[in-house]
A and B are shown apart, each in its own frame.
Chain A
């Protein structure tokens, strides 16, 4: 069974731009969560989507948004990028009552 796939793996943007990250979950998984990992703040929860609906949300500004499609694939969008948005963004998918399985992440660098 294929794992969680995140694209792209690396991304370089400049301040003020916007970016879209993609996540394809494990087949059959309907829950997709996003996390931000930085050296200073560690791993922080962004949001979770289940059956195309946002089910849970972390404490991030409105510049961070997401969506989920009918095939459970998810995208995360960050608008008006700031230097502090440089991070590894991890996506995780989960089956019914199962643990979360993570992708290898997208490393976003803001110049």
Chain B
């Protein structure tokens, strides 16, 4: 069984500041990990994915995440927040080969303070 925990349902950062959204996972098999972003009245857009290659994964819009097996974490970061980053972010896990269903965290709503 797999699960993810997102710490902090709401995160606020100032424009230009570092964005850090936390995700910890639990998996009985080597996991595939994903970050998705959801803007109001839209579906989920893939930001980045970890599939057992490089542990530091770069995604779209300047986001990146680092897979740390020892900490069972996959935190999402962006060096400098932009107003357009305001959205809800979901961490998700699936099993081997990405064949299984996605199990999502509860989401983190990111607010950018001008």
Interaction A to B: yes
Does A105 lie within 8 Å of B101, measured CB to CB? no
Please tell me the number of chain B residues within 8 Å of chain A, measured between CB atoms.
Answer: 21
Q: How far is the CA of A43 from the CA of B101 in the complex (A)?
A: 11
Q: Which of A45, A97, A102 contacts B101 (CB 8 A)?
A: A45
Q: Which residues of A contact B41 (CB under 8 A)?
A: 104
Q: Which of B44, B45, B99, B106 contacts A42 (CB 8 A)?
A: B106
Does A56 lie within 8 Å of B44, measured CB to CB? no
Q: Does A48 contact B (CB under 8 A)?
A: yes
Q: Which residues of B contact A58 (CB under 8 A)?
A: 101
Does B97 lie within 8 Å of A102, measured CB to CB? no
- Residue among B41, B100, B102, B104 with the highest chain A CB neighbour number at 10 A: B102
Q: How far is the CA of A95 from the CA of B49 in the complex (A)?
A: 15
The A interface, classified by DSSP as helix, strand, loop or mixed, is strand
Q: Does B18 contact A (CB under 8 A)?
A: no
Q: Does A61 contact B (CB under 8 A)?
A: no
Q: Which residues of B contact A4 (CB under 8 A)?
A: 43
Does B34 lie within 8 Å of A99, measured CB to CB? yes
Q: Does A81 contact B (CB under 8 A)?
A: no
Interface size class, chain A: 20 to 34
Q: Which of A48, A98, A103 contacts B43 (CB 8 A)?
A: A103
Q: Give the residues from 34 to 58 in chain A that come closer than 8 angstroms, CB to CB, to chain B.
A: 35, 42-43, 45, 48, 56, 58
Q: How far is the CA of A3 from the CA of B103 in the complex (A)?
A: 22
Asked, given contacts A42-B106, A42-B107, A43-B90, whether A102 binds B100 with beta carbons under 8 Å apart, the answer is: no
Does A102 lie within 8 Å of B45, measured CB to CB? yes
A-B complex: 3 closest residue pairs judged by Cβ atoms: A102-B43, A43-B104, A45-B101
Given contacts A45-B101, A102-B44, 18 further A-B contacts (CB under 8 A): A33-B101, A33-B102, A35-B102, A42-B104, A42-B105, A43-B102, A43-B104, A43-B107, A45-B103, A56-B100, A58-B101, A94-B98, A97-B98, A99-B46, A101-B46, A102-B36, A103-B43, A104-B41
